[in-house]
Amino acid sequence: MNKPSRLTFGPAGVPISSPKKDTYNGIVFTYEELGLDGFEIEFVYGVKLKDEEAKEIADYVKRNNIILTAHAPYFVNLNSNEKSKIDKSVQFIFDTARKAWLAGGYSIVFHPGWYMKSTKEEAYERVKEGLKRVINLLKDYSIEIWVRPETMEGLKKFGDLDEVIRLSKELEYVLPCIDFAHLRYRYNNNDISFFRGIMERIEDELGSEALENMHIHMSGIKLDKAGTHVNLKQSDMPWQEIMKILKDFNVKGIVISESPNIEGDAILMKKYYKSL
């Protein structure tokens, strides 16, 4: 399985300032005009990238040593009560993984689902079984890519820190996607010690190898009902301290900006991190 040699930064999708809005040209603009060597393809409303374009992207990212990830559709719910919806969710995650791999990506992220009327343990077992199906499909097609359940913000959503770490310990191909804004919201905590503790848990339970292969989401977040994303400087996220923590733990991988100004905050974080 691929593992990055550095920590890089990039936007969640085609930059706002990119004159061309297709994925290939968005990646080119991100790298050549913004100086960012990370990028996340947003398949959140469907995996619509054609194989031919994916292969073009793969050629470009490999030539320029760009770290590429992808986000699966929002429609995923591996804890649905309906088998057909679980089947579709497995397919959404697999399609994301296949297309990202074809495009030269090394990691994908997905929202696991909702607790609904299940207990946490019932939801965990159902999500785990769905993920096993995804992993078996990846093996069948000889696709090697990291599959990452994201830490989620709402208490009704599957994906607390314990759950994503446990899945990572019990399944091949699986590591967490750590969304610091979601964790800040879910646990109502923005103390620096809280964020340091997250990294300590990853190191203690998943090993230093996990710190050298991280997929991170960053943004500011409002403590409103929706957990609205805001730009870092408009939030109470101690983003500079988080960058210092990533440096302290010698983290490698990718930090994806999910702020409204996706490229602005990616550049902001990269510049600050490089100054440390």
89: pLDDT strictly greater than 90: yes
3: pLDDT strictly greater than 90: no
Q: Which residue(s) pair with 253 in the sheet?
A: 7, 214
237-268-180 Cα angle (round to 5): 30
Instruction: Give the tens place of pLDDT for each residue, 16-75.
Output: 999 999 999 999 999 999 999 999 999 999 999 999 999 999 999 999 999 999 999 999
Q: How many Cα atoms sit within 13 Å of 70 on the Cβ side?
A: 31
> Among 168, 169, 150, which residue's Cα sits nearest to residue 159?
150
Instruction: Give the tens place of pLDDT for each residue, 129-162.
Output: 999 999 999 999 999 999 999 999 999 999 999 9
Q: What is the pLDDT of residue 70?
A: 99
For residue 2, what pLDDT band results from cuts at 50, 70 and 90?
confident
Contact 47, 54 (CB under 8 A): no
**CA gap 49, 78 in Å, rounded:** 23
107: pLDDT strictly greater than 90: yes
| pTM for the structure as a whole | 0.97
202: pLDDT strictly greater than 90: yes
Q: In the block, which residue shows the tokens 């599959």?
A: 147
Domains of the chain: 7-275 (3.20.20.150)
Q: How far is CA 39 from the centre of its chain?
A: 11
